[in-house]
Amino acid sequence: MSYDDDNIFAKILRGEAPAYIVEEDAMSLTFMDLMPQSEGHTLIIPKESAQDILHVSSEALGHVIRQTQRVAKAVDEAFHPDGVMVAQLNRAPAGQTVFHLHFHVIPRWSGEAMPFMARDMADPIVLERHAEKIRKYLKNID
């Protein structure tokens, strides 16, 4: 399967679809997951057009992984979860639903169910509030 420019994350990168953006830099975009598995569920994507981890340049991957670590630290400080899950799925049988490489950062709390499939759409006001909360901590993380 080759990269399909019509995927929703490509549209977000082109500014053709809305997103609750946490941070943008030259090589990556960080934004809130629209159907979060828990409060603070954040996505990190490269700007490079790569459908999955098997098709991304090592330069872009290195950048996105470093950004994922920064986001994990910021989410940890912002939400004080018991655990922080970092997930990345490749191809539909592995659960991938959007075919532009992305890393999930998902705060987890003890005793909470851990679903990994579709949930409900979050309240836009809550998503913006969470984006702002994570942004505040990201400023202080190299």
Binding positions for ligand AMP, rule: CB under 6 A: 8, 17, 19, 33-35, 43, 89, 95-98
**Which long-range CB contacts under 8 A does 85-91 form with residues at least 24 apart?**
85/114, 87/116, 88/53, 90/52, 90/53, 90/54, 91/1, 91/52
Query: Tokens 């901590």 map to which residue?
Result: 137
Specify the residue, 12 or 60, whose C-beta has the smaller distance to ligand AMP.
12
Question: Does residue 102 carry a catalytic annotation?
Answer: yes
Q: CB of residue 34 vs ligand AMP: minimum separation in angstroms?
A: 4
Shortest distance (Å) from residue 142 CB to ligand AMP? 26
54 vs 140 by CB, closer to ligand AMP:
54
Instruction: Please answer whether residues 71 and 79 qualify as being in contact, where contact means their C-beta atoms are separated by less than 8 angstroms.
Output: no
The DSSP symbol for 5 reads T
Q: Active site residue: 41, 63, 102, 104, which one? A: 102
**Catalytic site residues?**
102
